[in-house]
Amino acid sequence: MLLDYSHGYGEVVLTASSEELARVADAVASGGGFVPAMASSSGGALRGVEIKTVSAPGVLIRLDVEAQVLVISGDAAGRTVLADNLRWVASAGAGGHLHIEYHSGHFYLGEGSMPLVVSSPHGGIQDR
């Protein structure tokens, strides 16, 4: 799994195999854990994804700059939706990518969530 923060776009790009995406989805659904990323020469490479359970409604996706990790925190309902989205990307054979991005009125992402782009293991986004 590669996890890169794009300073130019202000988003994190997650590139992973189906199995790796399933591990992230399982951790998100369970509400805790750390899924490590592979080391990368990219200037925006992150060490992994940390998942936390909180009681506040929704999911917050943020960058912990000091720890160099993507932090996903949220309640069970919001984490379930996010986990289902990750599983869909892992299993959808068409390729492409999924933008997970907050907008006013978003039904499970909390205000302040940073954009996350999940690249399909079946052919994702082109290198920028």
Q: What is the reported pTM? A: 0.91
Q: Which two tokens stand for residue 109?
A: 């992402």
Supply the pLDDT for residue 91. Answer: 86
Supply the pLDDT for residue 125. Answer: 54
Instruction: Give strand pairing partners of 72.
Output: 51, 61
Supply the pLDDT for residue 126. Answer: 47
Supply the pLDDT for residue 39. Answer: 77
**For the chain (length 128 residues), average pLDDT per consecutive 10?**
91 93 96 91 87 95 96 97 94 81 94 94 59
Supply the pLDDT for residue 127. Answer: 44
Name the residue among 33, 107, 108 with its Cα closest to residue 74: 108
